[in-house]
Structure 1
Amino acid sequence: MGSLFAGTVSKSIISSIDIAPTFLTLANAELSSTLEGKTLTPLFKAPNTPFRKYAFSERNWHDFEDHGRSVRSEKYRYIRNNYNDLPATPSADTVYHKTWAELVRLNKQGALTNAQSRPFLAPRPKEELYDLTSDPYELNNLASNKEYSNILMEHSEALEQWIKQTNDFIPSFRTHDDFDRETGAITKYRKRNPRPSKMQMYKATGKY
């Protein structure tokens, strides 16, 4: 197996959900019908084989509330920020670190570049579109550029179709942050351990 796959490179669009069925296929195990992904093994022998047109991703609550969805094609990435009134605060592994405290200090002084200050931006754009060929670090948002309106619509419609297929939705209430977004201090909500799930919250509040 090592000699067959060593040095193999593929630029095909894949998703993390493809990892499990790939391992199962290599182990000659039966694939469950509940698996959403596809085995990557065809790419091992033919790296240029078309695999996916789009790959989808999510950003949800993780220490801090957020709700974002993204679709990636070969050349573009489209992002929809459903809680765009909130800044894109990184996880608590970052915000209680000295590096984050320094970024907060510099941001308050206006000493950061536009790219460096993006974790503090609020409100954020509702939609983002990036040309990954010319802008691999996703710094130039093309969503409002009329020249890319068809590309924006294509990726937005692809995301809408995925949302319907996966029964995705935006909750009617938000989960409280576990930490202060600037200082990293633990909030009173962190003390609720274990944290109730969204469904448990729904049963308690009657909202979803």
Structure 2
Amino acid sequence: RLQDARVPPPLPDAPEVRSDLLDYAVEIDWFNKQLGRMIEMLERSGELDNTFIAVTGDNGLPFPRCKANLYEWGTHVPLAIRWGKLKGGRTVEDFVSLADLAPTFMEATGLKPAAGMTGRSLMNVLQSGKSGWVDPQRQSVLVGRERHTPAQPDSPAGYPTRAIRTRDFLFVRNFKPERFPAGNDPVYRDIDNGPTKTFMLEHRNDERVANLFELGFGKRPAEELYDLKKDPGELHNLANDPAYAEMRKKLSSELDRQLKTWQDPRALGKGDEFDTYEYYGKK
């Protein structure tokens, strides 16, 4: 039912949007049923407890200001893990990057993480048997985007951006704020087509949609800062607010430090070569 849909803050609350979200929920429900069938097959074969199962997603909701963006509804994806050697029925709140999965799989099989891996194994968290925030060293997570689709006008360039997320704040650095994060008007190719995108395009000048449209489709400043306790929807950028100057400086420095440790070209003043790489099947 439309009234059952939970509309994320970056999207307008309208019947068209609610219906779109429910359609998406149906797809997730279908996936869950197929997953259940696979687990039942493992159980019948006697291999369930001997199988390490990890279920996650590659991006957030396929909606404006969600997928292909570094905000909550673009980077926060589900992660469910089952293994016969682990205590189940727990919810863990630690920050996890998908880059952590490879070293986790390796440690689970008795191997050491390969040299050059930036992810950290989750085995200490999984084997702890604890719920909530388990590993005090997992204070934050870094996320980033380089290119998603060829959406810039007359250019194969992407929209390079990096962010650091803590429990209370999200700090985003947009390396090319002069570009279009969602692609250029009127196509906005970097946003998945669908009823919600169509509704926002058709009602972009409506009072209830205009601000959300600008946040999801418009250009963005070089830096963004959000207070997640006061603004969980990440709608009010505080990067230029004097009251948050120290926090902006702290998170900016930590983001820089980590990116340089990983030798991220963008953090080293380089990275334009990324914009020249060919897309598969395109010149």
Flag whether TM exceeds 0.5 (same fold).
yes
CA 1:133 to 1:92, structure 2 compared with 1: closer, same or farther past 3 Å?
same
Call closer, same or farther: CA 1:146–1:166 in 2, change over 3 Å.
same
1:48-87 correspondence runs (5 A): 48-63=134-149, 64=151, 65-87=158-180
Pair 1:6-2:88 in alignment? yes
C-alpha distance after superposition, 1:32-83 (max 9, x if no partner): 1221111111112145221323311111111132011101122111001112
Say which SS state the counterpart of residue 164 (structure 2) adopts.
strand
Match status 1:15 vs 2:97: yes
TM-score normalised to structure 1 length: 0.73
In structure 2, C-alpha distance between the alignment counterparts of 1:128 and 1:79, rounded to whole Å? 5
Query: Which amino acid letter does the alignment assign opposite residue 50 of structure 1?
Result: P
The amino acid that maps onto 1:171 is G
- Given that residues 95 and 101 in structure 1 are in contact (C-alpha distance below 8 angstroms), is that contact kept between their aligned partners in structure 2? no
| Aligned with residue 232 of structure 2, among 119, 129, 136 | 136
Q: 2:204 maps to what in 1?
A: 107
Question: Could you tell me how far 1:24 is from its partner in structure 2?
Answer: 1.6
Paired with 2:86 and 2:280, the residues of 1 have a C-alpha distance of 48
Q: In the alignment, which residue of structure 2 is the partner of 1:147?
A: 243
Structure 1's consecutive aligned runs of 4 or more residues displaced over 4 angstroms after TM superposition are: 90-93, 108-111
Hey, what does 1:42 align to over in structure 2?
124
**1:89 is the counterpart of 2:182:** yes
Amino acid at match of 2:137: F
- Counterpart of 2:224 in 1: which secondary structure? strand
Q: Unaligned stretches of 5+ in structure 2? A: 1-82, 152-157
CA contact (8 A) 1:76 1:131 kept: yes
Deviation at 1:131, TM superposition (A): 1.7
Residue 95 of structure 1: how far off its partner (Å): 4.4
* Contact kept? 2:144, 2:161, Cα under 8 Å: yes
Task: Give 1:30's aligned residue.
Answer: 112
For 2:96, the aligned partner's letter is I
Moved more, 109-118 or 10-19: 109-118
- Flag the 1:95–1:109 CA change in 2: closer, same or farther, 3 A: farther
Gaps of 5+ in 1: 177-188, 197-208
Aligned-residue Cα RMSD (Å) equals 2.8
Q: CA 1:151–1:193 in 2, change beyond 3 Å: closer, same or farther? A: closer
The answer to whether 1:117 aligns with 2:214 is yes
1:194 lines up with 2:281 in the alignment: yes
Instruction: Quote the residue 2:67 is aligned against.
Output: none
Instruction: State the 1:118 CA deviation.
Output: 1.4
Match of 1:184 in 2: none
Quick check: 1:87–1:119 contact (8 Å CA) kept in 2? no
Letter in 2 for 1:126: A
- Give the equivalent residue in structure 1 for 2:57: none
**Distance in 2, Cα, partners of 1:146 & 1:114:** 23
